[in-house]
Amino acid sequence: MEKSKCPGISKECFCQALKLIQEQGEINEKFEKALQLVGNGHYVFGTGNKYYEALLAILKEALDDQFDYISWWLYEGAPDYMIWSSDGKMQWCLKEPGDLYDYILDPDGRKGESSAE
């Protein structure tokens, strides 16, 4: 059975979810730093968070994110959020969650910029 091209989540909801994940990540980072001060470097906080895992699985399924762009965007994309075509001739800036949403949903209509090298 072929998957529908209709996303299972609106662009607004997707963008809001990513922003909230980022905000919670910043809170977790501050909390972890405080624990490190109190615990003399022996505390680790936020690893194996089942809520994050569940939310990412839902977002990935809702957009049929076969190449795991959402996780990349959240954890590895910063600070420039740039990706390139396999031949290096095209590039895309996915700095905003909406840009990522559009990129994932329209793999055949992706319009990037020529890489000037």
> pLDDT tens digits, residue range 6-47?
788 999 999 999 999 999 989 988 888 888 887 776 666 666
In a domain, 66, yes or no: yes
- pLDDT in the model for residue 74: 93
Number of domains in the chain: 1
Whole domain around residue 98: which residue ranges?
11-109
**Mean residue pLDDT across the chain:** 85
| Cα–Cα distance measured from residue 67 to residue 7, given in angstroms and rounded to the nearest whole number | 16
Rounded CA-CA distance 74/65 in Å is 14
Half-sphere exposure of 8 (CA within 13 A, CB side): 11
In a domain, residue 29? The reply is yes
- Local confidence band at 109 (pLDDT 50, 70, 90 cut-offs): low
